Structure 1
Amino acid sequence: MYLCPKIAFKRSVSFNSFSNLFFRFFQTTLPNQLPNHLNTNNSKLDLPSLDGTSTSQLFQTYTNHLRQCAERKSLAEVKTIHLHMNKSGFPHLSLGNKLIHAYLKCDSIDDARKLFDEMPQRHIVIWNSMISTYIRQKRSREGIHLFEMMVLEGVIADEFTFSSVFKGFADLGLLHEGRKAHGRLLVSGLEVSNVFVGSALVDMYSKFGKMRESRLLFDRIVEKDVVLATALIVGYTQYGEDGEALQVFRDVVIEGIKPNDYTFSSVLIACGNLADMCIGKQIHSLVLKYGFEAAVASRTSLLTMYSKCGLIDDCLKVFDRFANANLVTWTSVIMGLVQNGREESALLMFRQMIQCAISPNAFTLSTALRACSTLAMFVEGKQIHALIMKSGYNTDRFTVAALVDMYGKCGNTEMAISVFSGLELDELDVVSVNSMIYSYAQGGYGIEAVRLYDQMQYFGFEPNDVTYVSVLSACSNAGLLDEGCRIFSSLKSNVRIEPSRDHYACMVDLLGRAGRFEEAEALIAQVKNPDVVLWRTLLGACKIHGKVELGERITSKILEIEPGDEGAHILLTNIYASAGHWNEVTKMKIIMKEMKLKKSPAMSWIEIDKNVHTFMAGDLSHPRAIEIDKELESLNEKIKVMGYLPDTSFVLQDLNEKEKERSLNYHSEKLTIAFGLLSSRKKTTCIRIFKNLRVCGDCHTWIKFVSKVVGREIIARDAKRFHQFKDGLCSCGDYW
């Protein structure tokens, strides 16, 4: 019979002969496949013969070998020695402490624990080693359980024990148990002012947010060190007391305590949170002085500090000085670019990172998706989605939320739903649900957004302030007045959330668009010191309903709060134009000219083959302008046959009818769509355009007709929401 390749054994072969032959086969044929502790050719051990060796000689030999194995961190050799002890009949527990120490040095705490449990008597040192290793390896619950066993067995804990368990309690969030251990420390007579124990206590209370207790303990310790100071600084930074963190840093530097990498990292984060670039630059000088700029923690914090202070160019200069940037450093600079509105540069940096063979993590991918969302770069976002699938982050909550957000902001609600629906119930969280509600809101799926909001209780989630903004926006975009009022009422009765100006703005928009102006004004009156955004929101509703007098009154209120507000002048001008008050339009334009106020030029853009093409109203400077003009003429001829009539009320009235039509024909969205159709003749390709202002009524009607005549889906993202045009209909239901 064949038991392994190339070797046949007869049944008459004895077991011992078979074993020897089998072992020789593996030694000669497959030596690289043997474990180190069985491959005698590679073994660094020189274990004594079991015959004729005294116990004292074995003791010394084992001791020396265990020390060497611990230094080399060779777990296989430690196990070989342990096995040799058992085979020789040597009382291995006489070397139990050394064996446990060797196992712990090799990071094999489970082997150490088996031996530990066999020992009849255990010294405090070995208890401490076991407890500290459990906690260091993020197995704090087992470490704390071992501490409780130690107390029950009557072993008196020392300062090393307490310094470990305080960290364990902090890791597990067990404040009550941590306080009890603190009390036991005091009862045992150990000095809290000892810097070793004091640092652990300060760190524990800081992690619980008990900064008053942390500071009192800190002040009791006479001989402070950098570990103690850093623990307090980190605590202050994590709980938003950045000014206090900087003050502690100043004090310890004055006392002559040399900061380390983590100290600098924490105070730089505090500077970034305070956006204090002056102190930030001073601390950067100290970082250079002490030689910590190349350290990972300081490097990352430097980049973050400069980006939070809005000094993104300084951030890039610091980054350029690092020869071998790691993933954390790359991610920090990419995030800084996104936070400072440099999304295109962020995506370029992301591509460079990939080219440097650095694999992104979930946070890096989420940040890159955020850049795609802001720029509405659908193709780039899909490529990052593929990378997420390949990297195995497709169930990570942050990347899923970022994917849903990206697809939603790119107008592909179907893909957003697909990604969201792929999550199991235990993979959902508030962030991903909020992203889906917002995607529904952007796409005009108000009913679906409200339904998902109502399902949150079933999922076991409590809505937060972002949830309410998203679902109220969805109600506003879809005109769901009753649902919006119900949800806003629920928000006001929620004791955990204070309604913000954003929540009020959504409701003012909803009421205003429904023509409920008195209720909208009454709602604004409930806000303490209402800002121009709330009044401007209501002013926008006046344009929809042609409320000229109310618009004039609201404009006066806005100009009282913020004289020279550009938005108020533009909106009132539009209200006059919608109502046909052209004399007032002319007066407003003269006023705006005298005040040097300029209306943002209407522009639209489209991404074709990773290149962005931008068009402004009336702009015929594009290289393919002649083709675009012909395409527009062809489209207009076809849709007029279907019943399209240009609505010239959206252009200046001092033009003749032919000039009005021509002006309408060159609105930026029409130029962009014509170019998109020229550049992609495939019927399956969706045309995706983006506009910096709201789509006008005539263009909205025009795009509906075009979508039907060309048989293509057209998605337009304007300043407020998405419009999905298909077969002559729009997802907004003509309510925008």
Structure 2
Amino acid sequence: MLGAKIPPRLITRRNPFSKTPTRLNPPNPNQSPPLFENLLHLLKQCASTKQLKQIHTQMLINSVDKPNFLLPRIIDLKDFTYASLLFSHIPEPNDYAFNVMIRGLTTTWQKYQLTIEFYYQMKSLYLMPNNFTYPFVFIACANLLELNHGRAAHSSVFKTGLEKDGHVSHSLITMYARCGELGFARNVFDEISERDLVSWNSMISGYCKMGCAGDAVRLFCEMRTDGFEPDERTLVTVLGACGDLGDLSLGKWVEGFVIENKLEMNTYVGSALIGMYGKCGDLSSARRVFDSMKKKDRITWNAMISGYAQNGMSDEAMVLFDGMKEAGVNPDKITLVGVLSACASIGALELGKWIDTYATERGLQHDIYVGTALIDMYAKCGSLATALRVFEDMPQKNEVSWNAMISALAFHGRAHEAISLFKRMTEGCASVRPNDITFVGLLSACVHAGLVNKGRQLFNLMSSSFGLVPKIEHYSCMVDLLSRAGLVHEAWDFIQKMPEKPDQVVLGALLGACRKCKNVDVSEQVLQLLLELEPANSGNYVISSKIYANLEMWDDSARMRMLMRQRGVSKTPGCSWIGNEDQLHEFHSGEGSTEILDVIKLLYEDLKIEGYIPNINSV
């Protein structure tokens, strides 16, 4: 809890440069002597702390005691130590001096805790906070998530009749939204009698930052119905909401609005458009916007690289990363996370190692998000020991870091280690709580190790101990776990008891198990549901055909192949990558490369020598 006292170095005291303490107010320059006017003119022109100190010296020499004019300039020059020293020498600071310091602490130095302490000190001196005080106090509370202090200040706003002030209302909306109190934020918004664009933007932004993209879009539509046209801030916020919702049509409308109104496609709006198209899976439109931008900053490059990485276009992400470096734009942690994700997708270990070195040289290796991306990359590229080393070296870990390491252990079949790490997470880290992704990793570990009873226990633990509602991914893991154990009928019963309809992931897991168990009865029921969900997925037809073939039901097997051809469904060729020194080679099944065929023949001869007998039951 924050105290109400200012640190000792900032406590006001009698000014040693003045014999008689006076209550200071901003003087009127029109009534000032020529010397002060000259010094004031110089003060407005000064561009460095050194120049300002020279002017301050002249003011002291000539007994011009006007600290309230010095203080704003010091804050503009961002010298916290000098501003603190000057403020501490004001014998009786007035509300103007406090407001200037509170503004500087909040906007210039982001020392939010001191902002609140100055606010309480101001009140303890019987000075009246006003509409120049409260907005910065609420912003400080928002950044500190100090809801109690925010509510106390809100109460004072009512007592002073400032609740109708626009700046106060806007900052109140921000404070309540950041603290997770969207209901209170909306109440403040609804009570504004004359809303302006800033009011709308504050509430829309509040919804977006709290993950309520649907509410943000609905409020945006209300705003336009009320006759307000969006500005740059509105457009960027709404584009973020469109990306979260996958609302491509509204996102395209925003781009059309920018073009029709001849608004500048600056890096701020352009990057938001690229990000929206990337999240909606429209990478061609994202690249079109990217290529059309005359100026591209780091945020622009990051948006495009992340878009590629998120949509599985890893090669394009890495090519663009090279282009970013060639353009002289230095990568930051967001860039590294995007490229590491691409490396993880295709097993580009060498590039991943280069990024690890690059991050270490710039002190980014201990960043939570970079560290987590490194864990994921090393694990998916087969270097589990290195992933563990990165995890243990991280000074701070959040739930994403723990989840990444648990999933990595599960991916490598180290189920018992994954479960042990989960115990460390829940017993030794009070600030970190498991979430639904944690249990996906744990259940996946149980699947790989065949730990049926442990899987059941963890599935039940989700709701009983952590209040989590199982999602489709958890049901999919349980069905896979039961299926691999040969409990196909139990898995089918499990699906039928699900609180929501199974998706293709769950059904696909069970269909694969039916193939292994040669269970036709359940497979036919599963296939019927699968063909309704995804009639163009070749895998469903192929697996069903193989199930029949395993049981020598050749007519039924041929019928599935025929049905596949009649519906125009073609099989997607398999693809794999092999890293060779500094190059990554991509191979597709069915390729007729002479070199590849020659190598395959050699491998086949070696297999025969070793006595390998292929399983042709499914052929």
Secondary structure at 1:428's aligned position in 2?
A: coil
Quote the offset at 1:606 in angstroms: 2.1
580 and 600 in structure 1: CA distance in 2 versus 1, 3 angstrom threshold: farther
Secondary structure at 2:132's aligned position in 1?
A: helix
Matches within 5 A, 1:694-733: none
625 and 241 in structure 1: CA distance in 2 versus 1, 3 angstrom threshold: closer
Q: In structure 2, which of residues 603, 608, 612 is the aligned counterpart of residue 645 of structure 1? A: 612
Scaled by the length of structure 2, what TM-score is found?
0.86
Q: Work out whether 1:526 is the aligned partner of 2:506.
A: no
Secondary structure at 1:494's aligned position in 2?
A: helix
Q: Work out whether 1:105 is the aligned partner of 2:76.
A: yes
Quote the offset at 1:561 in angstroms: 6.6
In the aligned structure 2, how far is the partner of 1:442 from the partner of 1:166?
Answer: 46
Q: Deviations over 1:199-220 (max 9, x none)?
A: 2223323333434443443344
Q: Work out whether 1:353 is the aligned partner of 2:324.
A: yes
Number of positions where the alignment pairs a residue of Structure 1 with one of Structure 2: 584
What letter matches 2:117 in structure 1? Answer: H
Q: Deviations over 1:535-587 (max 9, x none)?
A: 33222222223334443454455557766764443222222333444454334
Equivalent position of 2:354 in the other structure: 383
Q: Work out whether 1:173 is the aligned partner of 2:142.
A: no
Equivalent position of 1:682 in the other structure: none
Q: Work out whether 1:636 is the aligned partner of 2:601.
A: no
In the aligned structure 2, how far is the partner of 1:561 from the partner of 1:296?
Answer: 41
Q: Work out whether 1:616 is the aligned partner of 2:589.
A: yes
Could you tell me whether the CA contact under 8 Å between 1:261 and 1:295 is conserved in 2?
A: no
The gaps in structure 2 that reach 5 residues or longer are 1-31
Quote the offset at 1:131 in angstroms: 0.9
Equivalent position of 1:155 in the other structure: 127
481 and 253 in structure 1: CA distance in 2 versus 1, 3 angstrom threshold: closer
Q: Work out whether 1:399 is the aligned partner of 2:366.
A: no
What letter matches 1:150 in structure 2? Answer: M
What letter matches 1:435 in structure 2? Answer: A
311 and 520 in structure 1: CA distance in 2 versus 1, 3 angstrom threshold: closer
In the aligned structure 2, how far is the partner of 1:503 from the partner of 1:383?
Answer: 35
In the aligned structure 1, how far is the partner of 2:530 from the partner of 2:315?
Answer: 35
103 and 382 in structure 1: CA distance in 2 versus 1, 3 angstrom threshold: same
Q: In structure 1, which of residues 331, 335, 341 is the aligned counterpart of residue 312 of structure 2? A: 341
Equivalent position of 1:125 in the other structure: 96
In the aligned structure 2, how far is the partner of 1:445 from the partner of 1:580?
Answer: 37
Quote the offset at 1:291 in angstroms: 5.2
* Runs of 4+ that moved beyond 6 A: 560-565
Could you tell me whether the CA contact under 8 Å between 2:142 and 2:178 is conserved in 1?
A: yes
133 and 270 in structure 1: CA distance in 2 versus 1, 3 angstrom threshold: same
Q: In structure 1, which of residues 77, 87, 103 is the aligned counterpart of residue 51 of structure 2? A: 77
In the aligned structure 2, how far is the partner of 1:507 from the partner of 1:110?
Answer: 60
- Structure with higher Rg: it is 1
Quote the offset at 1:106 in angstroms: 1.8
Could you tell me whether the CA contact under 8 Å between 1:268 and 1:301 is conserved in 2?
A: yes
Secondary structure at 2:465's aligned position in 1?
A: coil
Q: In structure 2, which of residues 286, 296, 299 is the aligned counterpart of residue 315 of structure 1? A: 286
Secondary structure at 1:493's aligned position in 2?
A: helix
Could you tell me whether the CA contact under 8 Å between 2:341 and 2:377 is conserved in 1?
A: yes
573 and 182 in structure 1: CA distance in 2 versus 1, 3 angstrom threshold: same
Identity %: 30
Equivalent position of 1:417 in the other structure: 388
Quote the offset at 1:466 in angstroms: 0.7
Q: CA RMSD in A?
A: 2.9
Quote the offset at 1:591 in angstroms: 3.5
Quote the offset at 1:176 in angstroms: 2.3
In the aligned structure 1, how far is the partner of 2:172 from the partner of 2:418?
Answer: 47
Matches within 5 A, 1:461-540: 461-528=432-499, 529-540=501-512
Secondary structure at 2:585's aligned position in 1?
A: strand
Q: Work out whether 1:225 is the aligned partner of 2:196.
A: yes
Equivalent position of 2:400 in the other structure: 431
The gaps in structure 1 that reach 5 residues or longer are 1-57, 653-736
In the aligned structure 1, how far is the partner of 2:125 from the partner of 2:486?
Answer: 76
In the aligned structure 1, how far is the partner of 2:507 from the partner of 2:601?
Answer: 44
Q: Work out whether 1:441 is the aligned partner of 2:414.
A: no
Q: Deviations over 1:622-675 (max 9, x none)?
A: 1424642553255236x43xxx231242464xxxxxxxxxxxxxxxxxxxxxxx
Could you tell me whether the CA contact under 8 Å between 1:167 and 1:204 is conserved in 2?
A: yes
Q: Work out whether 1:263 is the aligned partner of 2:234.
A: yes
Q: Deviations over 1:414-472 (max 9, x none)?
A: 33223223323xx2222122111212222222222222122212331322111111111
Could you tell me whether the CA contact under 8 Å between 1:234 and 1:245 is conserved in 2?
A: yes
Quote the offset at 1:248 in angstroms: 4.5
Q: Deviations over 1:70-110 (max 9, x none)?
A: 54331112223444555x4x546x22222323322321233
What letter matches 1:155 in structure 2? Answer: L
The worse-fitting range, judged by mean Cα deviation, of 99-108 and 543-552 is 543-552
Secondary structure at 1:411's aligned position in 2?
A: coil
In the aligned structure 1, how far is the partner of 2:463 from the partner of 2:216?
Answer: 36
Could you tell me whether the CA contact under 8 Å between 1:605 and 1:614 is conserved in 2?
A: yes
In the aligned structure 2, how far is the partner of 1:259 from the partner of 1:288?
Answer: 13
Equivalent position of 2:20 in the other structure: none
Equivalent position of 1:573 in the other structure: 545
Could you tell me whether the CA contact under 8 Å between 1:578 and 1:649 is conserved in 2?
A: no
Could you tell me whether the CA contact under 8 Å between 1:292 and 1:298 is conserved in 2?
A: no
Equivalent position of 2:117 in the other structure: 145
Matches within 5 A, 1:677-696: none
